[in-house]
């Protein structure tokens, strides 16, 4: 019960965040640049926190989730591959990645 509440609560939290973003777009809140930029930074931090929470159980889904999401960083020009290897702690996702 607690596990389901935790998983569904995280999904509901993101639904609330996306509704909040939609409301901001509808009412033109993006015109306040500083406030909007702080909101974007907070969204990215919440997404990173959710990713870490997804990877933490270290099951098969966590392994492939970590592999796919961190490989997205390889698209960053010039430093992408080095950034991925730094996050992984080697050349692939393994226990060194989890303990970083």
The domain locations on the chain are 1-56, 57-100
- Helix, strand, or coil here: 59? coil
Of 61, 72, 64, 56, which is closest to residue 93 (Cα–Cα)? 64
| More confident site: 26 or 57 | 26
What integer best gives the mean pLDDT of the chain?
A: 89
Separation CA 98–CA 100 (nearest Å): 6
pLDDT one-digit tens code per residue, 53-85: 888 888 888 889 889 988 888 888 999 889 888
* Dihedral over alpha carbons 12, 18, 23, 26 (to 10 degrees): -150
Distances (CA, A) of 68 to 33, 40, 75, 89: 32, 23, 12, 16
- Helix, strand, or coil here: 76? coil
């Amino acid at each position: 019960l607690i596990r389901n509440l935790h998983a569904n609560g995280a999904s509901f939290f993101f639904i609330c965040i996306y509704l909040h973003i939609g409301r901001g777009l509808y009412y033109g809140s993006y015109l306040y640049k500083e406030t909007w930029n702080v909101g974007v930074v907070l969204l990215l931090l919440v997404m990173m926190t959710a990713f870490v929470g997804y990877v933490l159980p270290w099951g098969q889904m966590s392994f492939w989730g970590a592999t796919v999401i961190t490989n997205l960083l390889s698209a960053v020009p010039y430093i992408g591959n080095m950034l991925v290897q730094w996050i992984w702690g080697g050349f692939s996702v393994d226990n060194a990645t989890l303990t970083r």
